[in-house]
Structure 1
Amino acid sequence: MSLISNEIKLNRVFITGGSGFIGSHLIDYLIKQNVAEIICLARSEKAADTVRKAGATDICYGDVNASLDILKPAMSKCDAVFHLAANVQTWSRNYDDFQRATVDGTRTILQAASEVGVKRFIHCSTEAVLSPNGPLINADETWPVPTNIPKQYCYSRSKADAENLVRNYPDSIMSCMIIRPRFVWGRGDPILLPLFLSKMQQHKWMWIDGGQMLTSTCHVRNVCEGMYLAAIRGQSKEIYFLKDERNSTIRAFINQLVETQSVQSNGMSIPFWLAFIIGWLLEFIWKLGDFHISPPLTRQRCILFGREMTVNDMKARRELGYQSHVTIQQGMNELIDDYKNGYIYNKIRY
Structure 2
Amino acid sequence: MTDNIAAADAATDKHAQFQRLFLTGASGYVGRNLIRHFTARNIAVTALVRNDAAARLVRSLGATAVTADILDGNLAANMAGCDSLIHAAADTDHGPATAKQRRVNEDGTRAVMDAARKAGIKKVIHLSTESVLATGKPIINADETTPLPRKPAGGYSRTKAAAERLALATSTQDMPVVVLRPRFIWGRDDTTALPALVQAVQSGKFAWIGGGTYLTSTTHIGNLCTAVELALGKGRGGEVYFISDGEPVPFRQMVSALVETQGLTVPDKTVPRGVVRIVAAIGDLLGAMSRGKIIPPLTLQAYATSAVEVSFTIGKAQRELGYAPVISREEGLAELRAAQH
Partner of 1:343: none
Partner of 2:50: 43
Q: Does residue 15 of structure 2 align to residue 31 of structure 1? A: no
Deviations, residues 203-228 of structure 1 (Å, cap 9, x unaligned): 21121110000001000111111111
Indicate how the Cα distance of structure 1 residues 238 and 14 shifts in structure 2: closer, same or farther if over 3 A, else same. same
Q: Does residue 124 of structure 2 align to residue 121 of structure 1? A: yes
Indicate how the Cα distance of structure 1 residues 27 and 289 shifts in structure 2: closer, same or farther if over 3 A, else same. same
Percent identical among aligned pairs is 35
Partner of 2:149: 146
Partner of 1:131: 134
Once residues 295 and 338 of structure 2 are traced to their aligned partners in structure 1, the CA distance between those partners, rounded to angstroms, is 31
Aligned runs of 1:174-323 on 2, under 5 Å?
Answer: 174-285=175-286, 295-323=296-324
Deviations, residues 272-313 of structure 1 (Å, cap 9, x unaligned): 221111122234445677999954322111111111111111
Once residues 292 and 308 of structure 1 are traced to their aligned partners in structure 2, the CA distance between those partners, rounded to angstroms, is 31
Deviations, residues 239-261 of structure 1 (Å, cap 9, x unaligned): 11100033211101000000001
Indicate how the Cα distance of structure 1 residues 290 and 45 shifts in structure 2: closer, same or farther if over 3 A, else same. farther
User: Match for 2:94: what amino acid?
Assistant: T
Indicate how the Cα distance of structure 1 residues 293 and 38 shifts in structure 2: closer, same or farther if over 3 A, else same. farther
User: Match for 1:282: what amino acid?
Assistant: G
Check whether the contact 1:130–1:156 (CA below 8 A) recurs between aligned residues: yes
Deviations, residues 108-166 of structure 1 (Å, cap 9, x unaligned): 0000000121010100000000111721111111111123x35x601100000000001
* Offset at residue 100 of structure 1 (A): 0.4
Task: Give unmatched runs, 5+ long, in structure 1.
Answer: 341-350
* Offset at residue 34 of structure 1 (A): 2.2
Once residues 237 and 106 of structure 1 are traced to their aligned partners in structure 2, the CA distance between those partners, rounded to angstroms, is 15
Q: Secondary structure at the match of 2:135?
A: helix
* Offset at residue 103 of structure 1 (A): 0.5
Partner of 1:104: 107
Once residues 135 and 292 of structure 2 are traced to their aligned partners in structure 1, the CA distance between those partners, rounded to angstroms, is 25
Once residues 296 and 227 of structure 2 are traced to their aligned partners in structure 1, the CA distance between those partners, rounded to angstroms, is 32
Count of equivalent residues: 331
From 67, 76, 80, give the equivalent of 2:80.
76
Indicate how the Cα distance of structure 1 residues 187 and 294 shifts in structure 2: closer, same or farther if over 3 A, else same. farther
Q: Does residue 174 of structure 2 align to residue 168 of structure 1? A: no
Aligned runs of 1:3-18 on 2, under 5 Å?
Answer: 7=15, 9-18=17-26
* Offset at residue 13 of structure 1 (A): 0.7
Partner of 2:6: none
Once residues 143 and 26 of structure 1 are traced to their aligned partners in structure 2, the CA distance between those partners, rounded to angstroms, is 28
Task: Give unmatched runs, 5+ long, in structure 2.
Answer: 1-10
User: Match for 2:86: what amino acid?
Assistant: F
Indicate how the Cα distance of structure 1 residues 64 and 142 shifts in structure 2: closer, same or farther if over 3 A, else same. same
Check whether the contact 2:142–2:312 (CA below 8 A) recurs between aligned residues: yes
Once residues 223 and 289 of structure 1 are traced to their aligned partners in structure 2, the CA distance between those partners, rounded to angstroms, is 38
Give the TM-score of the pair, scaled to structure 1: 0.89
Check whether the contact 1:205–1:267 (CA below 8 A) recurs between aligned residues: no
Aligned runs of 1:81-92 on 2, under 5 Å?
Answer: 81-92=85-96
Give the TM-score of the pair, scaled to structure 2: 0.91
User: Match for 1:103: what amino acid?
Assistant: E
Partner of 1:52: 59
Q: Secondary structure at the match of 1:137?
A: strand
